[in-house]
Chain A
Amino acid sequence: MAVAKEDAAQRAGLDTDALRTMYRHMARARVLDERMWVLNRQGRAPFVISCQGHEAAQVGIAMALRPGYDWAAPYYRDLAVTLVLGMSPKDHLLATMARAADPNSGGRQMPSHFGCRRLNIITGGSPVATQVLHAAGAALASRVRGEDAVAMTSLGEGSTSEGDFHEGLNFAAVHKLPLITVVENNGFAISVPWDKQMPLKDVADRALAYGMPGVIVDGGDPIACYAAMKTAVERGRRGEGPTLIEAKVARLTPHSSDDDDRIYKTREALAEEKKHDCVLGFRVRLEEAGVLAPGDAEEIRAEIMREVDRALQEAEASPLPSPESALLHVYGD
């Protein structure tokens, strides 16, 4: 088993260092996400929305992009995507604490409304699926200039019911834009299960109607996600058009810190999902393949904990925005 999976990594062009980096990204997102929940339960952070269970998909997808060259229009769960692209735990803790120095929004938006011009991470709002069109537009602009940059956008399976999902995929397909749409399908849109969003089991089937490849990938397997994304990115760079990737993932937390998932998700189902926790699973896999030595994972985790502790201290010491600054930046002139 371990040998076969190592083969998969080799086929995807991932060497040992890349696999360790991949694991580190996943563990870092998980530790940071868990810390945000602790802050929320301690009454120090008003709102948290989580990536737990999506880390493998997000890290695999994002590692196939060129940060600062390619474009990303992520959604609110994509904490790990933004970390891979170059944002830091401190950046996000500043947002959690609504501080003036929050690079996403200066404390203006709820946490997890990501954005960073320097890294081509397009600012997101709260209405879902609107970002699909922004990513298509970014892809269009790159092509008009003759660049081979691609644009990635992501959203949950519930958001594929929105009109902008259809309009964006159709536009990108008609104009053969290098747009990669990643649907992180965790089976629930807050409380509403996937079968109340669509009569299909697989979102990827919709790709047929847009005349683009629709790829289903195990969202618990970062190597598979990386490989699928790499293929889609290369296709986009060659000018062959868009791809729809559906990553089957698990949502290991309620929708947000304001949600109680016990009402609509059985504890047995959740326990089953946690048994296949992607971060733990990838650690075991890398240990079996000898990529991680005994003790490596603990060391990586301790190192991340120190980074997050430091980031939290700095974020809490960082000033809140001044009240009157609410009036700034409505217009540019």
Chain B
Amino acid sequence: MPTKTYIEAIREGMRDEMRRDERVILMGEDVGVKGGVFKATEGLHKEFGEMRVIDTPLAESAIVGVAIGAAINGLLPIAEIQFQDFIMPAVDQIISEAAKIRYRSNNDFNVPMVVRAPFGGGVHGALYHSQSIEAIFCGVPGLKVVVPSTPHDAKGLLRAAIRDPDPVLYFEHKRAYRLIKGEVPDGEYVEEIGKARVVREGSDIAILTYGLMTHFCADAAEKLAADGFSCEVVDLRTLRPLDREQIIASARKCGKVMVVQEANLAVSIASEVAAIVAEECFEYLDAPVMRLGGPEIPGVPFSPPLEEFYMLTPAKIETALRRLAAY
């Protein structure tokens, strides 16, 4: 099986779907001639032309709002927001419009649209090129939110998102783009939205996580294994709808649960996962649910000591895991 980077898998996912279905179009800032600021769309403008790979004006509400209209009129648009941090002007279109269009029209209309955006820190991007603000969308009925952590899932989930009849937010960790490599099958496989993946089986602590943190947690779990602690690592992959079954199964099996995310903790994915565990697994728990995430500050600061303070690392996760193991 060929090995590819995370960003190659995303690019191929778009390319393959555009070859397969001419209704798929791509629109966003710099996605055309330049091929995207991260090169996620490189080569697509040349292959599919400016009618299907559209350099838009610098206006995020329009990128999403026009994609909604195009989806209503029969296309399958992929709208790229250059950084998740810049999605804010489009939030009205995503939450007030896209999320509600099927419901408010009593199933007369639907919005088969994907909004792609890179998120996450560790790239010296400071406050406005590093955020993890996915929680904003995860409480909104009508939306689906996916965050792949491997090249395999990046391609499989992107295919699923494009073929989904409803709006899907597809968040890709920008530090994973070239850092993470993995095997990607050649065939036309699709990863189902709403299913978590057990990355590593274990029996002492269930680590529930997503995005780049999946890799950091796997590294930390490996360290603990050397000392005889068995950690199960679960990549949530889809943040809305969460895979409750897998969350509950892993929590009950291990009896200790740690939820790890890059975002700050207040009213977050970790909050929701911890609530599910509290409601469904109380009698199975040997320790309080532990949540590990970013500090309660407005963003990731620029200066290296500040950025390092914000970001989780395998070592920080390992320390927290040892604390939970000792409880």
Contact = CB atoms under 8 A, between A and B. Distances in A.
Contacts of B61: 133, 163-164, 167
A174 B56 CA distance: 9
A141 interface: yes
A145 B74 contact: yes
Contacts of B77: 137
A252 to B, nearest CB: 28
B165 interface: yes
Contacts, number: 144
Interface stretch (B12-20, B105-113, B198-206, B267-275): B105-113
Contact of A117 (B52, B66, B105): B105
A130 B66 CA distance: 10
A104 interface: yes
Interface in A39-76: 71, 73
Pick from A135, A174, A330 the residue with the most CB of B within 10 Å.
A330
A144 B71 contact: no
Nearest to A115: B105
Contacts of B68: 133-134, 137
Interface stretch (B91-99, B148-156, B179-187, B214-222): B91-99
A171 interface: yes
Interface string A105-146: 110110001011100101101010010111111111111110
B59 interface: yes
A187 to B, nearest CB: 26
B66 A122 contact: no
B100 interface: yes
Contact of A134 (B56, B65, B102): B65
A117 B75 contact: no
B62 interface: yes
A164 B101 CA distance: 18
Contacts of B144: 331
Given A171-B56, A332-B166, A137 B69 contact: yes
Main SS of the interface on chain A?
mixed
A149 to B, nearest CB: 8
B54 interface: yes
B25 interface: yes
A8 to B, nearest CB: 34
Contacts of B69: 73, 122, 133-141, 151
A133 B105 contact: no
Contacts of A120: 73
A125 B73 contact: no
Given A105-B105, A171-B59, A136 B66 contact: yes
A154 to B, nearest CB: 15
B65 A167 contact: yes
B57 A117 contact: no
Given A163-B89, A331-B142, A144 B97 contact: no
Contacts of B92: 127, 130, 164
A137 B107 contact: no
Contact of A137 (B71, B96, B105, B141): B71
B326 interface: no
A254 interface: no
A123 B142 contact: no
A141 B105 contact: no
Contacts of A333: 164-166
Contacts of A331: 102, 142, 144, 165-166
Nearest to B79: A137
A310 interface: no
A123 B64 CA distance: 16
Nearest to B100: A125
Interface string A216-238: 00000000000000000000000
B311 interface: no
A261 B44 CA distance: 55
Nearest to A331: B166
Contacts of A174: 57
A331 B164 CA distance: 10
B103 A329 contact: yes
B109 A168 contact: no
A270 to B, nearest CB: 33
A253 interface: no
B224 interface: no
B72 interface: yes
A330 B142 contact: yes
Interface string A252-294: 0000000000000000000000000000000000000000000
Contacts of B101: 123
Contacts of B56: 171
Nearest to B52: A144
A208 interface: no
Interface of B: 25, 51-52, 54, 56-57, 59, 61-62, 64-75, 77, 89, 92-93, 96-97, 100-110, 141-142, 144, 164-166
24 contacts: A71-B73, A105-B106, A108-B106, A109-B104, A120-B73, A125-B104, A132-B65, A133-B68, A133-B93, A137-B69, A137-B73, A141-B69, A141-B73, A144-B51, A151-B69, A163-B61, A164-B62, A167-B61, A167-B62, A171-B56, A174-B57, A329-B102, A332-B102, A332-B166
Pairs A-B, 9 closest by C-beta atoms: A137-B69, A133-B65, A106-B106, A141-B73, A134-B69, A167-B62, A332-B165, A123-B105, A137-B66
Given A122-B109, A329-B106, 18 more contacts: A115-B104, A117-B109, A122-B72, A123-B104, A127-B97, A132-B65, A138-B69, A140-B66, A140-B70, A140-B75, A141-B73, A141-B74, A144-B25, A170-B62, A171-B66, A175-B54, A332-B102, A332-B165
